[in-house]
Amino acid sequence: MSRQQIRSNQLITTFGPGAMVDLPHKSIIVAGLENWAFEPGKPCLVEEPRLAAKLARLLRQQNQAFKGHSIELRTPPPAGDAMFQRGRITPGVTGYIFPHWFIVQNVVLSPQKNRRRRLVMQGQLEDGTGKFKDKNKSYSVVPVRFVRACRKGHVGDIQWREFAHGGQTNCQQDLWMEERGTTGDLADVWIICDCGAVRSMSDAAESGTLGNCNGSRPWLDDSEGVCGETNRLLLRTASNAYFPQTLPVISIPNGMKKVESVVLSLWDTHLCKITSVEQLSMVKGIIPGLAEELGTLTDVEVFEVMQIIHEGKQTSSVAKPVKEVEFDALSGADIEQQTDEPNGDFFVRRLPAANWQHVKLAAVDNVVLVHRLREVVALLGFTRFEPESADVTGELDMQVQRAPIVRDAKWMPVSENRGEGIFLQFNPDAIESWATGELVMKRAAELEGSLEKWKKDHPNSRVEFPGASYIMLHSLSHLLISAISLECGYPLSSLRERIYAPDGKGAMEGRYGILIYTSSSGSEGTLGGLVQSARDIRKHLFRAMQLGTLCSNDPVCSSHGVKNGGIDRISGSACHGCLYISETSCERFNQFLDRSLVVPTIDRSGCAFFTV
């Protein structure tokens, strides 16, 4: 396949292998990790053992051929001036030309005076110029915007001749894309063959029209073979063409020891059924490679960590989900002192209670100033058509069929960002008492019913209802982000959130909190604006409550959704006038929101956590 270098400053972990990118004169699909070239001796390594162990465990679950006990983490290579220079590979990222069909930028009129342009393949273009030559005149081309894809992430060219003729054909006459309207709607776009065959693009949107998927993976330059899924029409620049599966963690100093990292990565496949040190020693001699993977670790120290996992103890980060480790570190902050000098990758201090306490904020236990934090975000794979985000505890679902970004994983791409933030810790008794109220439980049942209705139209989704407590904290977070952004010095789209709440399955019990933070690859994320806002958190919380009480779209917003069969996953009181923020800021794609659980609205008042 044709190669194209991508400058690495165009590449972030939310835009990695498998993503389709429009360049000035062509379209490419970002290649797999095998084609990311690093300068010899400078692999851009990032140290985050807790994240590396989580990734190794996920990769082993996804691919039994994966042999490593851990994974290297690397940032994308810096861009070089050329991908290949005198036989020497310089740092950079490869992209493959995709799709292979193009539209000639020469408009002609049909007998019915409709605008049409030629459909040509890459092999019909001139070498060097990339233009299409017809009757001694060269014309520019643009990539066709339609491709086929399946739920497993496979993507490929539409077989335009077969599509136009309704099946297999030997016809080799010219193909045209004709516009029979001005709306750009699929019904106005037609594929025409000079032999007389004609078909509307609206047919391509119907299930089964584009046939079954052949497992094409152009980002890896291979095919898995027939995958059993039905091809679906996809606009390669559409928002549903690429959903990266990322796993972000906040770096906690000494968050995971080496022995914990190794045991966690080997737990599911080799260690989970071992019950004694003697059995461990025997198994090491039976399972090929296990002794090498455990390295110099003694059987006793390995088994001690195994016991922690077996007994469900929470004394080690091995037994804790991603967010649980973070919550414990944030909530355990020391009280702020005048002699504090923020330094390092993680520096947090509790704000004295006298600075923010109020009778209406009795449910807030602690306000923590996050002077310094380091966020490491790993890209594990991607999906198309439907996003699959981490669960309430910050863990990725091991059962999700994500498309791989590499054949043989030895390292995974990450972005490393530094920033600051505000952490609010809530009283668990206050939240749990509120959540068991009759009106709150009734509202939660309505929202869960709305989700179940949505899942009937999305049978492949694995989304689970997170509970009223999570939805309340999530909605408050959005209101608080909007309130803080007015004064903190950061634009709203630069602020991000992490919600801490129990998952209903035993994890995160008694832990309720909100982290609002900003992070960037440079120093722009540590300018102090959020920490300063935390000192005025009482004012910002009251402003957030006022923002939630009345929406510019009321009474429609406060009453829509559950009552009239809304189309959202959670059809609560939420819209672009009140709760929706940039999707890059929200950890749940602007879903699981309802301001009526936070403050009274004009439609309902009995289920609000706060009183204004």
DSSP letters spanning 144-169: -SEEEE-TTS-EE---HHHHHHTS--
| 146 plus 111 within the same structural domain | yes
Q: Which two tokens stand for residue 79?
A: 């861009």
Q: Determine, yes or no, domain membership for 609.
A: no
Token couple for 448: 């869960």
Mark whether 231 and 262 lie in a shared domain: no
In a domain, 464, yes or no: yes
Q: Is residue 314 part of a domain?
A: yes
Say if residue 423's pLDDT is above 50. Answer: yes
Tokens 């498309």 belong to residue:
403
CB contact set of 142 (below 8 Å; sequence gap of 6+):
102, 103, 105
108 and 228 in a common domain: yes
Q: Say if residue 66's pLDDT is above 70.
A: no
Task: Indicate if the pLDDT at residue 588 is higher than 80.
Answer: yes
Cα–Cα distance measured from residue 148 to residue 158, given in angstroms and rounded to the nearest whole number: 6
CB-side neighbour CA atoms (13 Å) of 279: 9
Record the tokens describing residue 360, joined without a space.
């209406």
Among 11, 74, 21, 77, smallest CA distance to 46 is for 74
Average pLDDT (283-302) is: 80
Q: Which of 549, 555, 531, 465 is nearest to 503 (CA)?
A: 465
Any idea what DSSP says for residue 597? G
- Phi-psi region at 528: left, alpha or beta (left = phi > 0; alpha = psi -120 to 50): left
- C-beta of residue 37 within 8 angstroms of C-beta of residue 23: no
Q: Is 37 helix (H, G, I), strand (E, B) or coil?
A: strand
What span, in angstroms and rounded, lies between the C-alpha atoms of 246 and 396?
A: 8
My answer on whether 315 and 331 are in the same domain is no
**pLDDT tens for each residue of 464-486:** 899 999 999 999 999 999 999 88
Q: Which helix (H) or strand (E) holds 543?
A: helix 537-549
Give the pLDDT confidence of 93-129 residue by residue, as tens digits.
888 899 999 999 888 888 888 889 999 998 888 887 7
pLDDT over threshold 70, residue 452: yes
pLDDT tens digits, one per residue of 264-286: 767 666 777 788 888 888 888 88
For residue 295, what is the DSSP state? Answer: T
Domain around 176 = 101-235
Q: What percent of the chain has a predicted confidence (pLDDT) above 70?
A: 87
pLDDT at 355 over 90: no
Q: Residue 88 pLDDT more than 50?
A: no
Q: Collect all residues with Cβ–Cβ distance below 8 Å to 533 and sequence separation of at least 6.
A: 422, 484, 487, 488, 540
Same domain? For 390 and 512 the reply is: yes
Domain co-membership, 202 together with 168: yes
Token pair listed for 422: 């505000």
Q: Is the pLDDT of residue 365 over 90?
A: yes
In a domain, 461, yes or no: yes
Q: How many residues does the chain have?
A: 612
Question: Is 223 within a domain?
Answer: yes
Q: Is the dihedral of CA 576, 579, 582, 584 positive or negative?
A: negative
Residue where a domain stops, chosen among 168, 202, 235: 235
Q: Which pLDDT score, from 0 to 100, does residue 524 have?
A: 58
Lowest mean pLDDT among 60-64, 173-177, 256-260, 455-459: 60-64
State both tokens at 333. Answer: 């902050």
User: With the CA atoms of 5, 10, 12 and 18 taken in that order, what torsion angle do they form, in degrees rounded to the nearest 10?
Assistant: -50
Q: Do 262 and 358 fall into the same domain?
A: no
Chain centroid to CA 586: 10
Band (596; pLDDT cuts 50, 70, 90): very high
Residue in 61, 77, 92, 154 with CA at minimum distance from that of residue 382? 154
More confident residue, 489 or 91: 489
Q: Are strands 72-74 and 411-426 parallel, antiparallel or unpaired?
A: parallel
Q: Are residues 129 and 230 in the same domain?
A: yes
Q: Residue 290 is encoded by which pair of tokens?
A: 């296990």
228 and 266: one domain?
no
Instruction: Report how far residue 384's alpha carbon sits from residue 28's, in angstroms, rounded to the nearest whole number.
Output: 17
Nearest C-alpha neighbor of 591 from the set 567, 555, 564: 567
CA distance 88 to 82: 10
- Give the least confident one: 17-26, 165-174, 300-309, 362-371: 300-309
Helices then strands, each counted (H, E), the chain: 13, 30
The answer to whether residues 495 and 355 belong to one domain is yes
DSSP conformation letters of 301-361: HHHHHHHHHHHT-SSSGGGS-HHHHHHHHHHTPEEP-TT----SS-EEEEPPGGGT--GGG
The predicted-structure confidence for 390-419, as pLDDT tens digits, reads as follows 778 887 765 667 888 888 888 889 988 888
Whether 585 shows a pLDDT value over 60: the answer reads yes
Instruction: Return the structure tokens found at 546.
Output: 């006022």
One domain for residues 231 and 264? no
- According to DSSP, the residues that pair with 248 across neighbouring strands are 377
Residue 84 belongs to a domain = no
pLDDT in tens, 247-257: 888 888 765 56
Instruction: Decide if 602 is inside a domain.
Output: no
In the predicted model, what is the mean pLDDT of the chain? 82
Count structural domains, the chain.
Answer: 3
Residue 608 CB burial class (10 angstroms; 0-12, 13-18, ≥19): buried
Question: What is the per-residue pLDDT for 330?
Answer: 92
Tokens of 105: 């930028």
Same domain, 531 and 512: yes
Identify whether 507 is part of a domain.
yes
Banded model confidence at residue 458, pLDDT cuts 50, 70, 90: confident
CA 114 → CA 82, 153, 460, distances in Å? Answer: 44, 35, 41
